[in-house]
Amino acid sequence: MRDFAHDEHRYAKPPEDQLKNRLTELEFEVTQHSATERPFNNKYWNHFEKGIYVDIVTGEPLFHSKDKFESSCGWPSFSKPIFKEAVKYLEDNTHHMHRIEVRSRIGDSHLGHVFDDGPDELGGMRYCINSAAIRFVPYEKLAEEHYEEFL
């Protein structure tokens, strides 16, 4: 498998004006202004089809469906990113809380937060991700969408 985690030339963040035209208002607010969508009222919180989840801004692979689990928090939850380098971490002290924000590496999209309350058998981490920050690519369309390395 080619190491797409380090292929910065394959993915690029479009200019802001293009993002405003391409993304919905919610997708733009979540990815560009660190907003949070409502729990249990988003596209992927209870979605468990086989495939991968990519950054809605750049298309960079972020999470694999095999690492997704039901957490009852109302947002998609993953035990780990698809590649360690696919995401970056920032301290977030907003809303009178101390959390670790998760952002996409190349697009710098706000994805959500990571917590240490995930299932022990999956490593103990819970990546709580906004559906508005990701796009699902079904297993059957991986080759068609040029993600054949995940087949």
Q: Which residues are catalytic?
A: 128
* Spatial distance between the Cα atoms of 86 and 5, rounded to a whole number of angstroms: 6
| CA dist list (Å): 42 to 19, 45, 105 | 20, 6, 23
Tokens of 34: 């660190």
22-46 in b/e form (b: 16+ CB < 10 A) is: ebeebbbbbbbebbbbeeeebebbe
